[in-house]
Amino acid sequence: MDGCSGFDWHESNAQKIWERHSATPEEAEEIFFQEPLVVGSDVGHGKAEKRYYALGQTITGRLLFAAFTIRRNLIRVISCRGMNRNEAEVYRVHERTA
């Protein structure tokens, strides 16, 4: 993610995230600026381009999972939702060691 200079949103992704998970693009972006941020490769997806996932929290403390890719030095969020129990446990471990 070094070298990324912002975000690139596809309008249908932003709408889908809101309708399915009540997460706004602003919330999704917030997690990339809060500590800790847990990032990994999303090996189950992304045949055409490399995909990643991020576990983080908003400034209000909402724990979110985001799937994203990087295009032209921009983070393109594909999906964003509240963390499930296992993801939250992983995040909390990182939070304690940060």
Q: Does residue 44 belong to any structural domain of this protein?
A: yes
Q: Is residue 1 part of a domain?
A: no
Give the chain's domain count: 1
pLDDT tens per residue, range 66-81: 999 999 999 999 999 9
> Is 88 among the domain residues?
yes
Domain that holds residue 47: 6-97
- The SS3 call for residue 22 is coil
Residue 16 falls inside a structural domain: yes
Q: Taking the CA atoms of the chain, what radius of gyration do you get in angstroms?
A: 13
Tell me the C-alpha distance between 76 and 85, whole Å: 25
Instruction: Give residue-wise pLDDT tens across range 3-38.
Output: 889 999 998 999 999 999 999 999 999 999 999 999
Provide the CA 33 distance to its chain's centre, in angstroms: 11
